[in-house]
Structure 1
């Protein structure tokens, strides 16, 4: 985080605290242990990327193109294709040719895939419910509002190139 005179030291400390919490949250989301607990509780043997793809497919009953699934889940096309082959082999998704344009392939959930998505969602919903059960309605409202604003701002603001430190040397302390 670059020092900014418009950003007083107490605001910088708060921003660092937010950054630390976000990093912890991302590590939890990417944790093999957490993924293992999720799929065990949901009785679903799917990879971490497959969980994301299945959730991306759940919202569309008619099936979507592979490109749309990649965009919707912010996932690389090659990973989407590789994971879809595994999901198709497990009878969780189907591929169909678009009725209007035979060059387009649509991907959708099978009944078995819907069941897996439903169990994953149920486990996640129950987990979040337990985590937040002691929070007051005002705290939940504030968290929801602030998280929504935070994610919206993360999507809207692009990364900027790093600025070299004033000394011209690339050092670990260049964040200050």
Structure 2
């Protein structure tokens, strides 16, 4: 026999499940190729992080994307062959390299972001401006709380 949940827990679980489902749907939409995309969604994520945090070592890129170093190395080799990133010597360690976007990589990343912005603009097109602003505020708060929890887990 299953124990009865405390009052309010069933509704909280339902809301959490709903939010989880929504996040998974949005995440899937953002990871899928958008019309006109020729950039693999996984590579898009790496390019985005290199642009935001770079120049980075492969190990640093793996850390900031929460991916295995060997996985990141394989993807970086693809990015390098495609001319989207370049390796430069690490000034702190002559044996290591740092990754940065090439002009082509920056352009492809910009185009991929623009296609996703267009998708979001279309999805939010019928919303009132105040509702869009409230969504932005709440998502910002949510992401901050998630980041705080992740930091607590890392420091525990």
Q: Same fold (TM over 0.5)?
A: yes
In 2, Cα distance between equivalents of 1:3 and 1:97 = 61
The answer for the alignment partner of 1:150 in structure 2 is: 142
TM-score, length basis structure 1: 0.71
* Structure 2 residue matching 1:103: 3-state secondary structure: strand
More helix by share: 2
The answer for the alignment partner of 2:18 in structure 1 is: 20
Correspondence 1:38-77 to 2 at 5 A:
38=34, 40-42=35-37, 44=38, 46-60=39-53, 63-77=55-69
TM-score, length basis structure 2: 0.79
Q: 1:24 Cα shift?
A: 3.9
Q: Which has the higher contact order (CA 8 A, sep 6+)?
A: 1
In 2, Cα distance between equivalents of 1:154 and 1:76 = 21
Deviations 1:66-92 (A, max 9, x none): 122122222221211110011111111
2:100 corresponds, among 82, 92, 108, to 108
Q: Which moved more, 1:148-157 or 1:123-132?
A: 148-157
Which ranges of structure 2 fall in alignment gaps of 5 or more residues? Answer: none
Structure 1 segments (4+ residues) deviating >3 Å: 2-5
Which structure's CA Rg is the greater one?
1
